[in-house]
Amino acid sequence: MPTSDVTSKTIAVWGAHGSPGKTTIAINLACELALSGASVFLLDLDLVSPSLAQCLGLTEHPAGLAAACRLVAQQRFDIVQLERLSVRISAGKQSVAAMTGLTNANRWPEVSADSLGMILELASQHFDYLVLDLASSLEPGLRQPHAAQERNQATLAALAMAEVVIAVCGADPVSIERFLASEPAFKQAATAEPLIMVNRLRKSVLGHSAKNQITETLARLANLNIHGFVPDDPAAADQSLLEAMPIALARRSSAAKQAIAVFTQNHILLQRSRLDKRVAKLG
């Protein structure tokens, strides 16, 4: 059950098209929460391009989300089944219960908003935090012949249900343009005020004033405040993929790991971090 001093929260992680790093952020956010002592459920809810299994090297894993939805329809889904359909990912002395996504994106009609709601309701009774890795597509009204629900129904439902919504934007001109194009639809779908994370911040793309340029652009064009910058750390990211583990465990000295830890402490756990001043100087 959730610990007595932490309120169970659902955290949705979204990013525009173009691989801004939302899955990496979701995995490492879940890891940081677990390292803080919280119990965490991580769900790959990207029904277009699921990648949680690949990022964590889960070549052999339970059926995951599709099987969970079938059990919900059969009224057989409980915490025992949730654990059976998840994989425990080590996070220091703690672990994250990770449920993989669809093995084939064409199976998206199997995941309805109702079944998702029941999965999250059960998970919220047993975990402190639920971290959802969402698809980028947000367009409402998309349907296929014979489909009972809209194409993006689960994504939109997750954004509406989440108490915390994180929007990940890449730190380069193309990613920023895509983010700004998708931001109005995202803001309309999300119930909570979004937390903006700029990922892979580097001077090589925008110059020495990269952080200021991005801050001013998002404020001027979309009236958005940035809540965290994650420095580009390709060596740590590559090591994380090679070893199939979160950056926090693959390379604890990583600047990206430290930035995600500070964001987690300040905006999710609502704690001030000793790393604040160090991270503020990065990028």
User: Candidates 1.10.10.410, 2.40.50.140, 3.20.10.10, 3.40.50.300; correct CATH number of 15-280?
Assistant: 3.40.50.300
Task: Go through 25-35 and write b for each residue having 16 or more CB atoms within 10 A of its CB, e for each that does not.
Answer: bbbbbbbbbbb
- 25 contacts 168 by C-beta, under 8 angstroms: yes
Q: Could you count the other beta carbons within 10 Å of the beta carbon of residue 1?
A: 9
Give the mean model confidence (pLDDT) for residues 36-52: 96
The domain spans of the chain are 15-280
Give the mean model confidence (pLDDT) for residues 211-228: 97
- Rounded CA gap, 263 and 269, in Å? 9
- 45 contacts 133 by C-beta, under 8 angstroms: yes
Give the length of the chain: 283
Report the pLDDT value the prediction gives residue 146, as an integer from 0 to 100: 65
3-state secondary structure (DSSP) of residue 267: helix
Give the mean model confidence (pLDDT) for residues 220-234: 97
How distant is the alpha carbon of residue 78 from its chain centre? 24
Q: Give the strand pairing for 87-91 and 94-99.
A: antiparallel
Report the pLDDT value the prediction gives residue 272, as an integer from 0 to 100: 67
Where is average pLDDT lowest: 4-8, 17-21, 90-94, 102-106?
4-8
Report the pLDDT value the prediction gives residue 3, as an integer from 0 to 100: 46
pLDDT over threshold 60, residue 283: no
Report the pLDDT value the prediction gives residue 274, as an integer from 0 to 100: 55
- What percentage of the chain reaches a pLDDT higher than 70? 92
pLDDT confidence bin for 5, thresholds 50/70/90: very low
Give the mean model confidence (pLDDT) for residues 127-148: 87
- Give the bridge partners for 63, in sequence order: none
Report the pLDDT value the prediction gives residue 147, as an integer from 0 to 100: 66
Interval 144-196: pLDDT, tens: 666 678 999 999 999 999 999 999 999 999 999 999 999 999 999 999 999 99
Give the mean model confidence (pLDDT) for residues 70-84: 97
- Going by C-beta distance under 8 Å and a sequence separation of 6 or more, which residues neighbour residue 201? 171, 210, 211, 214, 229, 230, 231, 232, 282, 283
Interval 87-99: pLDDT, tens: 999 998 999 999 9
Report the pLDDT value the prediction gives residue 185, as an integer from 0 to 100: 95
Report the pLDDT value the prediction gives residue 182, as an integer from 0 to 100: 96
pLDDT over threshold 50, residue 16: yes
Phi-psi region of 119 (alpha: psi -120 to 50; beta: other; left: phi over 0): alpha
pLDDT confidence bin for 62, thresholds 50/70/90: confident
pLDDT over threshold 50, residue 6: no
- For residue 58, report the phi and psi dihedrals to the nearest 5 degrees: -90, 75
CA distances, 42 to each of 29, 73, 97, 127, 141 (Å):
10, 21, 6, 10, 27
Report the pLDDT value the prediction gives residue 1, as an integer from 0 to 100: 45
Give the mean model confidence (pLDDT) for residues 34-42: 97
CA distances, 242 to each of 56, 231, 247 (Å):
9, 20, 11
The runs of H, that is alpha helices, within the chain are 22-35, 52-55, 65-73, 79-84, 113-124, 153-161, 173-189, 203-206, 210-222, 234-243, 247-250, 255-263, 276-280
pLDDT confidence bin for 275, thresholds 50/70/90: low
Report the pLDDT value the prediction gives residue 4, as an integer from 0 to 100: 40
Q: 139 or 275: which carries more pLDDT confidence? A: 139
